[in-house]
Amino acid sequence: MAQERKVGLLRRTSSSKKPLKEKVVLMYDEIFTKDDPAKTNPRFWDELFLMKVNLEYLEAKLESLDGDEVMLIKENLNSLFHHCVQALEEEHQIKVVNALQTLCALFRGVHQKNKSATGFDIINMLVGFDKAELRMKDLMESLDSLLCGDGSESLKSLCLKLLLCLVTVTDNISQNTLLEYVMINSIFEAILQILSDVSSRGQHGYDAVVLLALLVNYRKYESVNPYIVKLSIVDDEPTLDGMGMVVHHALTEYNRQYKDKDEERHGGFLSTLTNMVGSMFIADADEKLSVQTNEAILLALYEAVHLNRNFITVLAQSHPEMDMPTTPAPTVPTTPTTPLGTTPPSVDLMHNPELPLDPSMQTSNLLITFLKYSSIVMQDTKDEHRLNSARLCLIILACIAEDQYADAFLHDDNMNFRVNLHRMPMRHRKKAADKNVPCRPLVCAVLDLMVEFIVTHMMKEFPMDLYTRCVQIIHKLICYQKKCRIRLQYTWRELWSALINLLKFLLSNETTLLAKHNIFLLALQVVNLFNMFITYGDTFLPTPSSYDELYYEIVRMHQVFENLYCMVLRVSTNVGQWKEPASKVTHALVNVRAIINHFNPKIESYAAVNHISQLSEDQVLEVVRSNYDTLTLKLQDGLDQFERYSEQPRETAFFKELVRSISVNVRKNVSLNTLSQDVLLKEFSSIS
């Protein structure tokens, strides 16, 4: 019986009678014949759009037909499409709603069965070649009018859902030929209008931002995409702020849900007892929370940061801290089709972008929220999905780190924030209390995030690409500090220690890692970071004693550097694929080895003269300070230079696969339930 209802059959009135079909289903059946349904009933199309759409039946019917069968009823399908577009201009709101939903079923149903068909075949099946340009122009103009008009908010929501359906009918959006018409008949200004208005942003901002992110990625490498061009030159402050607000609240909602889940997992006596017992064993399951990240909103953030330099100012716009409310915030209910992180933020948050600032209240901004989000998704990179999320976070940070304006506010002493990053639970360290985090310039939080990643991901499935990006971000930030002579009050020793431990890990796992990765490239980056500190540290380290501590760390961990030198010397003197990259590391180690070879004998001599078997840190530092004068170092060129980020060609494959994944996810989440008419009908029944 459930199956009968699903395909549009009504309940049996008695056991002897066949089930009756809904009238709208009977009308659909007429469309799926070769004859023109309007011949026998001139009011056929008017009546069709007055009836509640049966999306499931219509889509199922379309999906059951192969290409040849579709071509037999092509004229009727073309006519249905044409009348749908015409109905969008009707004053009768119910007709508009039904037309939008029917179009959604048409787009999805035809594509579902004909995935192997060319884009031109799809256009011919749906619209007809000869009339495609005109029909799609009319459709896009109607959608633009509905989005920009003063009409129903539910109607605007349906328009965006239809556009998301249209964009994501193919996994690879660049193969969706229908989008050529969306490029020609731009809705960019309509999207901006939604984002710039507080009310419409609250209700439609999430869908608008995701739609924009997808449209920007249509054939971005093969042709001129007008959405890329237009997004890159937007300078309207309310619009940019609106886009930032949507991303900010979506990430905030994710962070809040994660925090609630984390507290739920760790709360209560039973959980505490479980954790105590679990800490005695290696239990990966207890070390992380399995969550689904929100790549669509992250992609939107990336495109804004990467394409539009004006958007950088939005990152620093201050808002009240909203991810730790004193009273429970209204949440968007999640279902199996909308896992954690994929739901848009609650409307209440989106409606209140400018709350009164309480001097005692911790303020936040988009960058802080993004850093917290990154600290969550970068914890677990063992599967491809999360690995890609972490990669996108690091790409965004790389773009930020090389922007002069972003660097200026990152290092601004007058913009201090307390940023509570999430840290991966590890058995050898205690969980840090949030209140212990001091207020500091935001660059400290970025460096903390990089150090945290370096320390926590030295594992068998080594994420080489992420490590390379981490070290590059640190390098870009230090280059800015050197250039502007900024003496950042930061615990640099934590970074030095993390980098040395990374070198130690590379040495310990040389054979395993070399089978998959060029570890010499990463080793060179790390050694050159030390060279930056050695050569220019006196211009940006906070105090002279910080420079002394750098030398102390190098001397204290001299065995790691010596082992690295032996390894790269061995590889560079043998013929093989790693000969050249290994020799570069050999040359880069010249100053580190000079420091070790200069100070080690001095320290041993000091210990012998003073009859001390083991020197304290202060005693070693005293030897270091007393022997700078006789140390000779070589000046190394290019240490403060870096290659600026470029998406093409290096990141092309990554973004193509990412956008494909997002398209599949968005298509799945624009479910039939979200297009339910009940709310719409109720709303329109009250319209006078």
Task: Give the per-residue pLDDT at 348.
Answer: 44
Residue 272 has pLDDT above 80, yes or no: no
Task: Give the per-residue pLDDT at 291.
Answer: 56
Average pLDDT over residues 526-539: 95
> How many Å from the N-terminal Cα to the C-terminal Cα in the chain?
39
In this structure, the number of other CB atoms found within 10 A of the CB of residue 250 comes to 29
Average pLDDT over residues 630-657: 92
Q: Which two tokens stand for residue 633?
A: 């170092």
Residue 522 to residue 584: CA distance in whole angstroms = 11
How far lies 209's CA from each of 206, 388, 672, in Å?
Answer: 5, 20, 21
What percentage of the chain has pLDDT greater than the value 70? 81
- b/e per residue 296-329 (b: at least 16 CB within 10 A): bbbbbbbbbbbbbebbbebbbbebebbbeeeeeb
Q: Is the CB of residue 426 less than 8 Å from the CB of residue 375? A: no
Domain boundaries, the chain: 23-185+659-687, 222-263+295-320+361-425+436-457, 487-643
Residue 646 to residue 243: CA distance in whole angstroms = 23
Average pLDDT over residues 639-656: 93
Residues 164-178: pLDDT tens digits? 999 999 899 999 999
Among 129-143, 376-390, 558-572, whose mean pLDDT is lowest?
Answer: 376-390
Residue 313 to residue 406: CA distance in whole angstroms = 8
Sole residue written with tokens 């549009």: 8
Task: Give the per-residue pLDDT at 431.
Answer: 59
Task: Give the per-residue pLDDT at 688.
Answer: 41
Residue 280 has pLDDT above 80, yes or no: no
Q: Pick from 210, 216, 213, 218: which is nearest to 174 by CA?
A: 218
Average pLDDT over residues 461-490: 95
Task: Indicate the burial class of 574 (C-beta count within 10 angstroms; 0-12, 13-18, 19 or more).
Answer: exposed
Residues 293-352: pLDDT tens digits? 789 999 999 999 999 999 999 998 876 655 433 333 333 333 333 333 444 544 444 444
How far lies 684's CA from each of 153, 657, 687, in Å?
Answer: 11, 41, 5
Query: What's the pLDDT band for 357 if we cut at 50, 70, 90?
Result: very low
Residues 563-579: pLDDT tens digits? 999 999 999 998 888 99
Residue 674 has pLDDT above 70, yes or no: no
- List % helix, strand, coil for the chain (3-state, nearest 5): 65, 0, 35
Task: Indicate the burial class of 43 (C-beta count within 10 angstroms; 0-12, 13-18, 19 or more).
Answer: exposed
**Beta strand pairing status for 440-441 and 319-320?**
unpaired
Residue 503 has pLDDT above 50, yes or no: yes
Strand-pairing partners, residue 417, are: 440
Residue 579 to residue 369: CA distance in whole angstroms = 44
Angle of helix 519-540 relative to helix 464-484, nearest 10 degrees, comes to 20
Q: Pick from 374, 4, 351, 401: which is nearest to 197 by CA?
A: 351
Residue 365 has pLDDT above 70, yes or no: yes
Among 208-222, 336-350, 573-587, 604-618, whose mean pLDDT is lowest?
Answer: 336-350
Query: What's the pLDDT band for 15 if we cut at 50, 70, 90?
Result: low
Residue 614 has pLDDT above 60, yes or no: yes
Residues 325-336: pLDDT tens digits? 333 333 333 333
Residues 18-27: pLDDT tens digits? 556 788 888 9
The pTM (predicted TM-score) of the whole model is 0.86
Residues 403-438: pLDDT tens digits? 999 999 999 998 888 888 988 776 655 555 555 778
Residue 588 to residue 531: CA distance in whole angstroms = 8
Average pLDDT over residues 614-634: 90
More confident residue, 38 or 188: 188
**Beta strand pairing status for 440-441 and 416-417?**
antiparallel
Residue 511 to residue 508: CA distance in whole angstroms = 8
Residue 3 has pLDDT above 90, yes or no: no
Helix (H) or strand (E) segment spanning residue 363: strand 363-364
Task: Indicate the burial class of 516 (C-beta count within 10 angstroms; 0-12, 13-18, 19 or more).
Answer: exposed
SS3 23: helix
Q: Is the CB of residue 563 less than 8 Å from the CB of residue 592? A: no
